[in-house]
Structure 1
């Protein structure tokens, strides 16, 4: 009987429940997707690159779980507001409060289970899609990966059933504390808009100062480090809440008392509605602004981190490839790459030293990074003087052993990049000394293209050949190749996981943020119905009232959007000391936010109009 009543109650508010279900399904689907990549150990253990990403998706799961918990807690409050008057009428007609609480509990669990089933189904499809995208980026086979993964499904069901149970109990307790008359008259409560001028001015000043401290901490994060992390998080959050509790209401009040704007059409009514709205929503609007910053920031951070890999390897290693005594197969690949800079140096090795021929280095002066400071790093021709040794081979070796062999630091850095092994000390010797070394002569080829990323297939093929040579020489699996491409792939593996985590976490944050704002606006719509009815009865046209709704809700959505985007634009600077271009394609995250936000704004307007301006003749 309870299930039937709960189902009928949900059907009567199906439009509201569909919107609620959409947000829950998205959260569940993304959470399940993260679990398939975090728990699928049978697959990840076979791929070191994928295994290194497990931590990223575990962290993402924890963040998503935390946000989802508060999202579900809030949406359940919305559910209670939808039915509270109906519950009050049931109690007046004789229904016991215990029965009503049980009915509400069943409703909450029922919508939770429906959302779980749909969410996991969507999550399975999403997992298959995302896995293909990630594995395609890393050229890894999908063998062993399961988008339909039982452990991930069990974790998802267990976690969300627990959340639905806890939030249902929370609503159960809240309902116990509400009197019957308060439930029946819930729509008739007036909003409080009392503003004490002196206290408000103090709050505005405190909010501006807090925001400035937070922004300064973000801008100078490299200098402040740990202090900056804590001060930026605390002061930016505090400033946001203070601004929305004082400064935004003051702006609305100024709009209301501007005669030029206020007396035009029915804008007096619009601004009055907005004054009530911002006072009841000020805490939520501040939360929305912070979630916008987190959501758009997560997407921007992922894209910037991904882009950072290519820049990092380019600034770390000037030459795109370094090959020792190229084989015929390697020569064939090299010949097909259009190098803009290439050189070949001769050297000999005796197990203690690598002897590089001075004449080769003089004739083919290499390119180097001038400084390892990210703002001023540039590539230039190495101009440092070469050692002018007149000594014999034995004297050169003795000087190297006692540390008196003189060689410019820049030459030492360059030669280290040429070495196949870092166990030998590099030395530069003249032709006479070089000829006295009784070792087989070897060569090392270095080449630089105009675009490292345009020839990734060739770099991968060269690394594969080198790895096979190393495995053959040691008769067992050896350490990986330490090439520029290997460095890039190692970085890119983690970056790829970060991009996808940032993207889906960002979308989840943005969707939950917008839906929370929508739920809050709609939950107060019942109190506005009488006001709109009154205006329609005195002859105000419906089109004018619809315009009023558009303007009012536009400003409600606009305030947190402005501050949230400002947080993102300033906040991305905090990554400047670990990411070369923190603002790389930031327009993507902002455009995605605007798209999601606009869709929720239009949906909110549509549903709000249907509630306060139903299609009927007055």
Structure 2
């Protein structure tokens, strides 16, 4: 008898379970594919030791599990709430608490087992596609073959059983809280939903105020961080402002759905009398009264997911741009190592060579970083002549054009321009031992790996000033080869160069009587008070590119698929609720048709309600994520956020698809 009841209840809820079923299949596919790749030894060996492939894929798998738990817990709660009437009927038939729980648990396990079986089957078939995408994203030269992993299947099965177990305990808790008076209380709650008290209006006003305040702080982010950084420090000030914005947006979102929108819907202008507008507002107000937590959670979670994707994309973009900064040529090598390496290089392949001459000089420039004070101590700076700069610019297109206005003018190439541009201020003069330089402009540093030089900054000066300035002279050789020789050059580098740190200098500088005291001396030192600096031996473009590409490609791959999974599951949850609510309101729509309301007007009302439910949370989350990107852009300048904007558009496309599917199904069933 119980089996028949379970089967009848399952068929009754089949439409709702289909969305749940397909979403769970997709999540199982993603989780299995991530787990299978951690067992694929050729991929792990090809990725190398620096990418932390297993750890990052494990993080992605863990994130998918959290998404599954969020999805199934919310969906299961909705199923139970939606079937209170069924529970009452089974109580009347004499079923006890444990039999009712067994009924719901059996349905969930039945769906879970079928989803697991189909998901694993599709995951085995599609895991090669996932591996190919990962290999492409990481830039690995690897042929991907079909791979079957029993260990990954076992791990996925254990995870699915764990999630189903958690959901089963949730069912026991939800059903235990059921009372026969619940339906009566629901009717009373519907009456209460239409009333807005004074304190609720105050909370509604507070919700709008919180959202506007959070958005305003995001737009004027630099103003607030500068003020707080002076009191708490740069890092603490930024984290504090980010925390305040996050708090305002999260609390504001929940208050917005709980009270602000309900307050707005309580007004009934005359224009709503047409095309069932009054009915639409009333229905939306009832939904907000009972489901404001769900809509708030969807909005906050989507906003955080897109903001996290934006942060990771900014990191990936900056890391890839750093390749051009660190390795603008095929090989940059110290002159000392080049003299030993040149004979073998000349025998192996043709190349172009250029020598860059530098001077390490004592210099003092005041640099203010908000929250960290002013650095006004003398330091070692590197100097390069404008003639060398322009010669290198011919092969390095990332370098900006520079025209010095006077003999004592200089241009600073600074690494701070990539990250802390809004929080860094340079003094207009640089003090050298013999004279002062006037700072004409500041640009990002794309002059090669700073580890090939000694100083904390690089300044470009006139040829005359370069020759007249006393300092420690050294040179770096720039080697460029054609693309098809890059692999051969990299092989020579691995065989002949060790990448050691050598050529040390030491110094102890001070500022006394408006003058720099101290000298820069080659070699090591035995004095503990002196500072010693080394230079790295070389920087290779191909080596730098491969290491960076493999690391950031892995991060972007995992974050992209996790975010995609989350967007699809949230859209599925909204669709599930809409289809279930529609079944309960079919009688209401049939009654409207019997009253003479045209079908087109009823269809318009269905589309209007779906638009509100699907797109208000999505658009609010989109605003949150766009403003989060503006905050990230203030911290990390010159990053490319095109991928995130594309993903925001993808989110709208996914929600539009589910919206269209829900409307089409409801129209067919009406």
- The normalised TM-score by structure 2 is 0.70
Pairwise CA distance, 1:82: 5.3
Cα separation, 1, equivalents of 2:579 and 2:106: 23
Give the SS at the match of 1:225. Answer: helix
Q: Which has the higher mean CA deviation after the structures are superposed, 554-563 or 518-527?
A: 518-527
1:249 and 2:259 are equivalent in the alignment: no
Question: 2:547 is matched with which residue: 472, 477, 490?
Answer: 490
2:30 aligned partner? 30
Contact 1:299 1:502 in 2 (8 A): yes
* Partner deviation per Cα, 1:499-550 (whole Å, 9 max, x = no partner): 1122111111111211222223333334423322221221222222111101
1:58 aligned partner? 58
Cα separation, 2, equivalents of 1:49 and 1:87: 56
Give the SS at the match of 1:65. Answer: helix
The 3 A distance-change label for structure 1 pair 53 and 218 is farther
The 3 A distance-change label for structure 1 pair 359 and 197 is closer
Cα separation, 2, equivalents of 1:359 and 1:552: 66
2:118 aligned partner? 118
1:547 aligned partner? 604
1:606 aligned partner? 664
1:282 and 2:339 are equivalent in the alignment: no
Q: Which has the higher mean CA deviation after the structures are superposed, 576-585 or 183-192?
A: 183-192
Cα separation, 2, equivalents of 1:23 and 1:584: 28
Question: 1:444 is matched with which residue: 477, 493, 496?
Answer: 477
The 3 A distance-change label for structure 1 pair 235 and 359 is closer
Contact 1:39 1:152 in 2 (8 A): yes
The 3 A distance-change label for structure 1 pair 564 and 159 is same
Give the SS at the match of 2:539. Answer: coil
Give the SS at the match of 2:415. Answer: coil
2:497 aligned partner? 470
Give the SS at the match of 1:539. Answer: coil
Alignment of 1:451-466 (within 5 A): 459-466=486-493
C-alpha RMSD of the superposition: 4.6
Pairwise CA distance, 1:156: 1.9
Alignment of 1:500-511 (within 5 A): 500-511=557-568
Give the SS at the match of 1:482. Answer: strand
Pairwise CA distance, 1:262: 1.0
Pairwise CA distance, 1:465: 2.8
Give the SS at the match of 2:610. Answer: helix
Cα separation, 2, equivalents of 1:458 and 1:345: 23
Cα separation, 1, equivalents of 2:298 and 2:447: 54
Question: 1:297 is matched with which residue: 301, 307, 323?
Answer: 307
Contact 1:241 1:286 in 2 (8 A): yes
Between Structure 1 and Structure 2, the one with more helix by share is 1
1:208 aligned partner? 208
Pairwise CA distance, 1:111: 0.9
Pairwise CA distance, 1:288: 1.7
Q: Which has the higher mean CA deviation after the structures are superposed, 284-293 or 525-534?
A: 525-534
Question: 1:587 is matched with which residue: 631, 645, 656?
Answer: 645
2:44 aligned partner? 44
Cα separation, 1, equivalents of 2:558 and 2:211: 28
* Partner deviation per Cα, 1:455-497 (whole Å, 9 max, x = no partner): 8765454323312333799xxxxx9963244333322222111
1:528 aligned partner? 585
Cα separation, 1, equivalents of 2:561 and 2:489: 35
2:654 aligned partner? 596
Q: How many corresponding residue pairs?
A: 548
Cα separation, 1, equivalents of 2:50 and 2:390: 45
Between Structure 1 and Structure 2, the one with more strand by share is 2
Contact 2:326 2:448 in 1 (8 A): no
Cα separation, 2, equivalents of 1:165 and 1:84: 22
1:258 aligned partner? 269
The 3 A distance-change label for structure 1 pair 494 and 480 is farther
- The normalised TM-score by structure 1 is 0.75
Contact 2:194 2:286 in 1 (8 A): no
* Partner deviation per Cα, 1:424-476 (whole Å, 9 max, x = no partner): xxxxxxxxxxxxxxxxx99823559xxxxxx8765454323312333799xxx
Question: 2:354 is matched with which residue: 337, 343, 349?
Answer: 343
* Partner deviation per Cα, 1:571-609 (whole Å, 9 max, x = no partner): 113323246325334331122111110111122223444
Structure 2, gaps ≥5 residues long: 227-236, 359-382, 394-398, 400-410, 422-428, 440-444, 455-473, 501-535
Pairwise CA distance, 1:173: 2.9
Cα separation, 1, equivalents of 2:544 and 2:167: 47
1:564 and 2:574 are equivalent in the alignment: no
The 3 A distance-change label for structure 1 pair 144 and 595 is closer
Give the SS at the match of 1:140. Answer: coil
Cα separation, 1, equivalents of 2:80 and 2:560: 32
Contact 1:2 1:106 in 2 (8 A): no
The 3 A distance-change label for structure 1 pair 217 and 115 is farther
Give the SS at the match of 1:343. Answer: strand
The 3 A distance-change label for structure 1 pair 363 and 232 is closer
Pairwise CA distance, 1:4: 5.8
Cα separation, 1, equivalents of 2:251 and 2:298: 14
Cα separation, 2, equivalents of 1:202 and 1:320: 64
* Partner deviation per Cα, 1:555-579 (whole Å, 9 max, x = no partner): 2222112211101110113323246
Give the SS at the match of 1:445. Answer: strand
Cα separation, 1, equivalents of 2:67 and 2:122: 20
Q: Which has the higher mean CA deviation after the structures are superposed, 527-536 or 205-214?
A: 205-214
* Partner deviation per Cα, 1:54-76 (whole Å, 9 max, x = no partner): 33333333333223212111111
Cα separation, 2, equivalents of 1:362 and 1:515: 57
The 3 A distance-change label for structure 1 pair 362 and 303 is closer
Contact 1:76 1:167 in 2 (8 A): yes
The 3 A distance-change label for structure 1 pair 83 and 494 is same
Contact 1:522 1:608 in 2 (8 A): yes
Cα separation, 1, equivalents of 2:50 and 2:608: 49
* Partner deviation per Cα, 1:201-258 (whole Å, 9 max, x = no partner): 321332234334544565537753332343333222111111111222233334xx12
The 3 A distance-change label for structure 1 pair 191 and 160 is farther
Cα separation, 1, equivalents of 2:144 and 2:387: 51
Pairwise CA distance, 1:275: 2.5
Pairwise CA distance, 1:20: 0.9
1:237 aligned partner? 250
Alignment of 1:58-207 (within 5 A): 58-81=58-81, 83-140=83-140, 142=142, 147-179=147-179, 182=182, 190=190, 192-207=192-207
Structure 1, gaps ≥5 residues long: 336-341, 348-355, 378-383, 388-403, 423-440, 449-454, 474-478, 614-618
Contact 1:294 1:509 in 2 (8 A): no
